[in-house]
Structures are given as C-alpha cells and as structure tokens.
Structure 1
C-alpha cells in the first residue's frame, strides 16, 4: 500500500470501507479538523482528488484524511518540513477530544481555540499553506479573527444630508468632553473596519459638532473645530472607500476648512492627507503630490524636536504624496518621498497610531507594496509584502488594505489560488474592507472570472457568499 500514489490510496481506502464519494466527503467534514475549519468537502471534490484532476489536497484536507483513514503523513505525500507539525496536530486533536472538559463543550463551538490553547499553534499549519505567498510573517495574525459578517453595502444618504446642511443646530449646550469621546470612538470603529457602524453615527455627530463650532467661544471653539476636522476626515475616508467621489470631496473640504479654523498645525496636516487622497481619487495626481508636499514642508520647518504626533502626521503626508506620485509614474519623486517617510518612521522608532495614522516603519513598507502595485510591478509588491509582520500593524483597517493589495498582486501574477486565499484572510481580519468596498468586490469578480478550473469552483462559492455575480 505505501508504494501507491496518494490519489490511489484515497480511492483504495474508500473502496475497502464500501463508502460512496458522498459518504467519504461527509466523513471528512465530520473529523475534528473538518468541524473546526469547515472544510466543506463534497462528492465532486473527492472525485477530482481520486482521478487526479486537481493537485493533492491542501494541508487541512490531508490532516482530515490522516484522522479519518489512519494513513501516515508519508503515505499522503506530505513534505518533510510539515510532517512534524502534522503529527503534533493529530496528537493534539486526539488529546483534546479525550479531555472531559472538551467532551462537554457546547455544540457548535469551534474546536480551533482548543488547538491553540493546548500548545499546538494551529495557525502554524495554515500558515504553511501561505508560505511562498507573502511569507509566514505577513499572516501571523490572520487565523484567530472573527468570521466576516457579509453586510451588503453602506447607506450614505443620511450622511449626505448632514454634510449638505448649513444652518441646522441641535438644542442644548455643547459638551466637548462627550463630543471628543464620540469622535474617538468613531475613529476606533473606522480603524477596526466597522464602517457601517461609523456611517450610522456620523450624521448626528456632524450636526452636534456644527452646533458646538457655532455656539462656543475662545479655546473651546478652536477645540470644536479640531474635532469637526477629525469627524469630517473619517467621513471622507469611508466615502473614498465607497468610491463616492462627490461626497468624499465635500467631506474632505469640510475637514480642511475646520482644520484651518482651528489654527492647529496638526489638524491642518492631518486634513491635508485626506484632501490629497480626494484629489488623487479625482485623478488630480500632480495637484495631490503638490498638496502633500506643501503640507509636509510646512510641518518639516517646525520639526526640530518633534513629538510622536508631529512625526506621524509628517510621515503620513509623505506617504500620501508618494502614492499620488505613483499615479504619475514619477519614480524619482516616489523614491524621494518614501525615503523621507522611512526616515521619519526611524525617528519615531516603532509602529504607533499617533493621531490615528497607524504610522511607523511597517506602514511605510505597506505603502511600498501599494506603490509597486500601482506601478504595475506585482513581483516587487509581493517581495515587499513578504517582509511584513502583520502583528506590527496597529489597526485592522490597515491590515485589510494590505492584504487586498497583496491579493491584487497575486492576481496580476496569475496566481489565482493565492489571491483568493489572501483575500479570504482580509475578510477574516477586516470584514467590511471586503464586503463594503466596490474595489474589493471587483477583485473577487476578477478572480472568479479568470480563475483556472482548479480554483474556479472555490472562487465562485466565495463570490456567491459575498453576493458577487461574475
């Protein structure tokens, strides 16, 4: 038996046990690995394995078959580098299933958590599936995130009304402490990729801030303008993701106006970032580069002993300018801005989130991925992505954006299976980066339409789960 090919082993085991292919698939799904990972094996998948139409199953199917059929990792064609992890995983599954506390666990609770808690890093096995994609470091944080909630689109009508109003004021005194807390919560939710939640609360927040800016005096008025600039910045950022150019430009403009009214250099610099993105989204790339450069130069003049806030805004402006420059193809300007941003990140010395920028050395590397992609150099984008430790990025929004860029790079290289796997990872970490962004949904459609036979079925299933029609 050991001399047989893996597909022959699978077929021989099924025949010896008098199982149909459907029954075989059901048994695979019923293994501990099948339950934990929702393998969704079916009759067609078993047939294709047995006939050799597709390459031998991935690590998780192999692990399920090891548990089911008692076949060794060597018989199932594992490479030497993953046999040890597989044996440990099998032992961990067996020990977990024999543990009384685990036996009484509520139905439907994923067992994946137990694998991790008992010492076997289950993510290490799944990361093996991604080795050669963007490197294990990039995916080190992917596998313990909640499943995506497949919300379909965002309703921005109420936000549009709030942005267009000029003279509506709410009743009662303005409580700046409460307003500041609401703005901070909106920013946290945005960085967690909870865009629908943010959109729902922004109209009321913008109206409240309009009242505060009108009613307050002195330093409180200036502080209200800073908060208004921040709230409109959030609105513009989400609208840009939604490709709502008109409203995004309006929100970005309101953000910059409020920032100038606050007389805060930090607020002006921060709002200049979103104006740069809005200009770039409108294909005004050279103006976007100039805007970012001017704002960064204005800040640079005052960076003698810069704070973390100042370095982060300054570096983020340089990154925005570099992305805009990529649209013009000016590699000299791109390199200059990226190098200056990298220097600012080194001065900061860590990956932080000052002024909600997520700025630091890792974010600079993320922008190198994005810029290489914009220049059409998918190979370089993937090379940069290999160097990234996803754990170092402080926000899920940034992680999701990076993974989508990486998926796009793999698609450009014709590696549809890898593109799909990375895109799924993005959905696990930052669900609404995938479900709520037209660009991400187009990427899903592109993968599905152009996928080879070996990937097409899985791609179609994923597209269907997101409501994407190829």
Structure 2
C-alpha cells in the first residue's frame, strides 16, 4: 500500500538491479521508473513528488500511459537525488556518478560557482550527528528535505520565475489563458489589419504542414493573442471573418500540442477553436473545428465519443450544405477519415469500413489531391489513412500492402508524407522487419527532421524498434537517436 504523503521514500537496494528498472533508466522513461518505485517501495505519488522536488500532478502526468516525457538534465538530476540512486543507476540514466569530481575549471554552463559542485554531484546537506539514524541515511536525508522544504516547496518547484520569458509551451498556456502581450504577435500598427491576420494564419498553417514545428511554437502564441484582441475590437461581417481565422489558428495550436503530448492545453485550444468557429456562423468552419475536437478525444482514449463526434458533424455538414464545393467536400471527407481512425482504435471494423468508403467516395467527387481548407484531402489521403488504421488494428501485412500502392510524389504536404513513412515503419516493426523499419525512419527524419526529433510518439516507436531489433540494427538505431538528440 502506498505510504502517507509525509513519509520518506525507502527504496530497497534490489530495485536498482531489476532488469525492468535498468530498462527504464536506459530509456529515460521516468513514468515507468515511478511505477516501479510505487510497486516495489510502496511509495505514493505525493511521496515521490516531495522526494524529487516536484508536484504530485507532475508525477501523475509522468506516470500516465503515453504521458509527459522528462527531457532536461536538471529534472533527471532531481529525480536521481530524490530517489537516492546508486552510481550504477545514475550512470544508466546518463548522469555522472557521485564519485566523479570534475576539475575546478569545468562547471555546468549557467551554474553559479557556489552551486556547481552540489548540482553535478547530487550531494545533499547531511546531519552532522552521524550517530543519529546512521543505519538509514536515505530516511535522514529525506527527513531533512521534508523539514526544510516541505509540501510548500514541492508545490512551487515547477512554477517558473515570474520574470522568466514566456516561450515554448508556456507561451501557448499564456495565450490560451488570455495573458496580455504574449510574444510573437503582429506589430502594433497591423494588429487589427485583417489582411495581415489572414496572411499570418496561412503562414502558421503552411509551417505546420511543412513540419516546421519550432517556427509554429515561436510565432503562433502571439498570433492567438492578436486574434483574441481583434475579435473583441472589430464588428460586423469582418468580425465573423476574424472568428473563422481564430478557429483555424487554435486548430493549429491544438494540433501542435497534441504532437507534443500536451493533452491538457491541446483540449483547451481545441475547445477555443470550436467556440470561435461557432461564432463565425460558418458551417464549414464549425465542421473543420470538429476535426480537432475528434482528435483531442482520441488522444484522451475516448474513441467511442470521437467516432460519434466525427460522424455527427459530417452528417450535419452534409445536411447544411445545399451543394458541396471543394472546401466543404474536403472538410466532410477529412471528418470521415478522422472518425475512421477513432473507430479503428476501438477495433470497430464495421464503422472503419463504412467511413473509409464514404471518404473515398468524397475523394472521387473532389477529383484529386488538394489542400482546400488546409485538409490535404483527396484520394491519396484516404489511402494514407488505410495504412494508419491497418497498423493500429495490428494488420501489419495489410498496412504494408496499402503503403506499396501509394505514390509518395502524389502527396503534396510534408507532414502527410512523414506520417505515411512513420506509419509504415511502425507496421514493419510489428512485422519484425527491423532493418527496413529503421531505413524508413531515417527517410522520415531526412524529409521532416522535427517530426522525428520532437514527437514523443515517434520516440516511443524508436524505443520499440531498438528493443526488438537484432544487435546489428540496435547499434544503428542507437547511433541514429544519439545523432538527433533522442534518448532511448
């Protein structure tokens, strides 16, 4: 049974020798490590949080299936210190052993000299009375940590300094929370210029589809703030246009946040997209925002609700449009594809077949592969989704057969090409064709580096490939991941 929140964590030394623990350390899988600590040490999430200097909510996010991934050295150091890892465990995690003392002139960058030694070595203040609790140094150290910092420090540990610059996901959080002066927006003179807003939203869409995710992360939060301000200041038909632009921009925000596995902010962005779409009074915009709502539901494992949402909004759009045009037909078909993916993830093969067939019919009616309303919809995109769904259904052979039928040159969008390559690699991994899977992933990285290096889902695929591969391929995968900065 997990201990009380104020009890120190007491980890049996044998935990660090277990194969599953070593695997978690080598792959830097913090969530798996915390599960093992809970299982073998009986520690609660609150105990782990206090020991590691983070919040209970953050520990819960790490432990959630497919949840948050730790990326920074500072976090790994805190965890190693808090759990009192022995040197072999620290080295498995990629950290220096405690016995290593660097030369005085080598210090971590941006670390004050007086803190450099303790930061690198992970040392903690010890009780000068060595006779007290001498048989249990971990309990003594944890007690002093509790006494000195307590729950207050644990709660505040992950809150950034108030004067720290807003960047990355934090800037998205600020923009979605309605903070003023979020960086990255339009110049003051053009903030209410609708043409400039149209161009900026289009640029964000293009960057996303080109897999230039770092550019999107840098520029989009400020644009979201500008669109909010403009929608509150402009009136009439132009305001409806701004609401539609806001729906599209929040759609991009939710998409990028889902790629980063930040489900909470992605949900908020998806909801804002739908709110703005409804204010735009445009049924095609509403249906387009329903796509990202469906995606967010899927990402949170609500596959039944996702399937129903996609189906109902597609039916509503078909009903509300007297005669389909390329925009409405593309959004309609894309919604059906999203619903088919959701149905596949709940193993509803009947719904998958029905929705894919309807989407295929919409692609034929459209007459080719286009990018109307930023959907990349057309007959080829339907084929891409057949590969994706077959992979999730475990039909690796069928997925490869579908992939062989696709002409990569017919896919106009980089993000869609990369998605096909990654799905194909996943199917090859399932099939045991590890060398081919590795070659395909290398091709995906050459085509869209940030799609491979920045996405936790692709990192998990790389770990699966590494784990199951023979020694020759394992070595290539390890060299590749080191090259692109991904830790297995």
Partner Cα distance (2:466, 2:255) in 1: 28
Partner Cα distance (1:281, 1:177) in 2: 34
Q: Where do residues 53-72 of structure 1 align in structure 2 (5 Å cutoff)?
A: none
Q: Where do residues 288-437 of structure 1 align in structure 2 (5 Å cutoff)?
A: 288-437=306-455
Q: Give the corresponding residue for 1:210.
A: 228
Q: Give the corresponding residue for 1:50.
A: none
1:285 aligns to 2:303 (yes or no)? yes
8 Å Cα contact 2:283/2:320 also seen in 1: no
Q: Give the corresponding residue for 2:51.
A: none
8 Å Cα contact 1:190/1:198 also seen in 2: yes
Partner Cα distance (1:210, 1:238) in 2: 19
Q: SS where residue 323 of structure 2 aligns?
A: coil
TM (norm. structure 1) is 0.66
| Uncovered stretches (5+) of structure 2, i.e. residues with no partner | 1-166
Deviations 1:421-470 (A, max 9, x none): 00011111111110110011111122122211232221111121122333
Q: Give the corresponding residue for 1:270.
A: 288
1:159 aligns to 2:172 (yes or no)? yes
Partner Cα distance (1:283, 1:466) in 2: 30
8 Å Cα contact 1:410/1:419 also seen in 2: yes
TM (norm. structure 2) is 0.63
TM-superposed CA distance for 1:305, in Å, is 3.0
Deviations 1:57-84 (A, max 9, x none): xxxxxxxxxxxxxxxxxxxxxxxxxxxx
TM-superposed CA distance for 1:265, in Å, is 0.8
Q: Give the corresponding residue for 2:214.
A: 196
Partner Cα distance (2:232, 2:322) in 1: 35
Q: Give the corresponding residue for 1:112.
A: none
8 Å Cα contact 1:445/1:468 also seen in 2: no
Partner Cα distance (2:169, 2:296) in 1: 17
Partner Cα distance (2:452, 2:215) in 1: 15
Q: Give the corresponding residue for 2:97.
A: none
Partner Cα distance (2:356, 2:347) in 1: 14
Aligned structure 1 segments of 4 or more residues deviating by more than 6 angstroms: 166-170
- Higher RCO (CA-CA < 8 Å; seq separation 6+): 1
Q: Give the corresponding residue for 2:462.
A: 444
Q: Give the corresponding residue for 2:62.
A: none
8 Å Cα contact 2:231/2:243 also seen in 1: yes
Superposition RMSD on alpha carbons, in Å?
1.6
TM-superposed CA distance for 1:168, in Å, is 6.9
TM-superposed CA distance for 1:266, in Å, is 1.1
Q: Give the corresponding residue for 2:5.
A: none
Partner Cα distance (2:471, 2:336) in 1: 43
Q: SS where residue 208 of structure 2 aligns?
A: helix
TM-superposed CA distance for 1:394, in Å, is 1.4
Q: Give the corresponding residue for 1:84.
A: none
Q: SS where residue 301 of structure 1 aligns?
A: helix
Q: Give the corresponding residue for 1:453.
A: 471
Partner Cα distance (1:428, 1:262) in 2: 39
Q: Give the corresponding residue for 2:76.
A: none
Q: Give the corresponding residue for 2:486.
A: 468
Q: Give the corresponding residue for 1:256.
A: 274
Q: Give the corresponding residue for 2:264.
A: 246
8 Å Cα contact 1:407/1:418 also seen in 2: yes
Partner Cα distance (2:446, 2:272) in 1: 33
Q: SS where residue 217 of structure 1 aligns?
A: coil
Number of positions where the alignment pairs a residue of Structure 1 with one of Structure 2: 317
8 Å Cα contact 2:453/2:486 also seen in 1: no
Q: SS where residue 243 of structure 2 aligns?
A: helix
Partner Cα distance (1:166, 1:428) in 2: 37
TM-superposed CA distance for 1:404, in Å, is 0.4
8 Å Cα contact 2:180/2:225 also seen in 1: no
TM-superposed CA distance for 1:334, in Å, is 0.7
